[in-house]
Structures are given as structure tokens and as C-alpha cells.
Amino acid sequence: MTTAKNILTILIATAMTCCMKSAAEVNENLMTPKGGSNGQILRRYAYITSYNKDTKIPNWVAWSLTREHTNGPHKRGGLRFEEDTDVPQPRATYFDYMQSGYSRGHMCPSADNRWNSRAQQESFLYTNCCPQLSSLNEGEWNDIEIKCRTWANKYGEIQIVCGPILPKGKPKTIGKNKVAVPEAFFKVVLCMKGNPKAIGFICGNGEDNQQPQILSVDDVERITGIDFFAALPDDIEQRVERSCNLASFLQLK
């Protein structure tokens, strides 16, 4: 016999299930870019990625980072990068990166996914990483990831899109499956808190690495051919994408 208490329990469970949308679902329209190379869209629990079957790396990876998602108990200990069986073969594997001289560079970082075990596991799919020099992976790229978590904590939520920049000619590849090696990486960040603001970064992936370039989103769009944050109203999009003022992210306005 169904009691009032049982009905209430069922209703609460149903409501919780309906509300437990993935981080990727919540702001998909806002954070998904347009243009660039065609790719297979993969919707993960914490991010969305456009995968390129020719290069064996993502065209871009996009996610919403909230204050609540900047920490949690689900750390990377014991996890290894995994082949992504949702994409066709040939695809990146462990052996492609082994002794290649390149790190497995997360696009959506492990530290942004401590809030959920599934999100953390999916961050270790090869479709979320690119060949990246260790000096970049552990240096400037990591510094920008830390900055993003600081901004998410400060403002409550930011939108992030990042990915590789390939050379105009035929790229260098690693491994039997010929995983393309980017010559640089881009990251763009949007914050809608208070006065909307956005900023872009480009980091070189060469031995002669210099400091990251701080650019407007418009500049990153010209370099990558990707239209970021296209779902914004035109007046806001034009205003935030023209600016590259790092100081605006350091002040709560």
C-alpha cells in the first residue's frame, strides 16, 4: 500500500532527478561556440567538446565553472587517461603518448571536476586532451586554470572555452595513430556577473615558450576562426569581446 510518506519520498526523488542536470546541459547554448573545424559533438557530464577525427584531438572544449565546482572530494588519484570509445578508430591511446616527449594536456582540467566522480572520470578521456609540453602543462597553462577557479569562486560562475591551435601546414604527430601536436592553445573566459566581461589567452606549445598572450576574444576569434559566445545579445557580445582588460577580472564590479 502506498502511503502519503512514500508518495512524498517518490516526489522528492523525482524532483531531484529532474534538477540534476549536468554542468554541460545548464549553459550549453551560451558556452557552445560556432564555426571552426567540423567535429563530432560529445556531451559529457561537465563539458561539451567538438572532436576532430582527423587530428585525433578536440577542436574545442567548453564548460561552465561555478563556485561550487571549484572543489570537492573526487580527486584524480588512481585515475588514468582512457581511450574514448564514443569516437571512431583510429583514435588516441596510451601508447601514442608514451615516450612521445609530450604530456597529456587536459583541456577541461581535472581540478575543475572534483565536485563529481563521473565528471572527474570523463575529464581523463583522450578526447579531452592534447599533446602538450610539460613546461606548458605544469606552468603557464596551469596558472591560467588556477586563475579561472579563482574567478569562478569570486564571481560565482564563468564560461570557458579552450582548445588547440594547429599550424597552417601539416602538423607534427605522435604515435601510431598520428595524434596532432598543436603549435599553441587558446582559452577564452566569459563572466556575466555585474558588468559582463571576457578575456582571451594564447599559449605557445614550443620549446621557446614565452609568456601567454592576453588578448580580446575578438582577437582569439580571428586567430582560430571560431565564434565564441555567439548566443549573447549582439550588443553585449560586441562590447565584451572587444576588451582584453585583465584588471576587469580582478575587480568585482
Strand order across the 57-66 sheet: 40-43, 48-52, 57-66, 157-165, 184-191, 197-204, 213-215
Q: Looking only at Cα atoms, what is the longest distance across the chain?
A: 72
Q: Which of 69, 106, 114, 187 is catalytic?
A: 106
69 as an active site residue: the answer is no
64 vs 25: CA distance, rounded Å: 9
223-228: long-range pairs with CB below 8 Å, 24+: 223/165, 223/186, 224/36, 224/163, 224/165, 224/186, 225/35, 225/36, 226/33, 226/34, 226/35, 226/36, 226/59, 226/60, 226/161, 226/163, 227/33, 227/34, 227/35, 228/33, 228/161, 228/188, 228/190, 228/198
Confirm if 215 and 203 have CB atoms less than 8 A apart.
no
pLDDT at residue 79, rounded to an integer: 92
Whether the Cβ atoms of residue 66 and residue 157 lie closer than 8 Å to each other:
yes
Q: Distance (Å, rounded) from C-alpha 223 to C-alpha 217?
A: 10
By C-alpha distance, which of 20, 55, 247, 35 is closest to 166? 55
Q: pLDDT in tens for each of the 253 residues of the chain?
A: 444 444 333 333 333 333 344 555 556 766 678 876 779 999 999 999 999 999 999 999 999 999 999 999 998 888 999 999 999 999 999 999 999 999 999 999 999 999 999 999 999 999 999 999 999 999 999 999 999 999 999 999 999 999 999 999 999 999 999 999 999 999 999 999 888 999 999 999 998 767 899 999 999 999 999 999 988 888 888 888 887 767 676 654 4
Helix (H) or strand (E) holding 238: helix 234-242
Name beta bridge partners: 197: 191
pTM of the model: 0.87
Buried b (16+ CB within 10 A) or exposed e, 92-119: bbeebbeeeebbbbbbbbbbbbbbbeeb
Here the cell at position 134 is 610539460
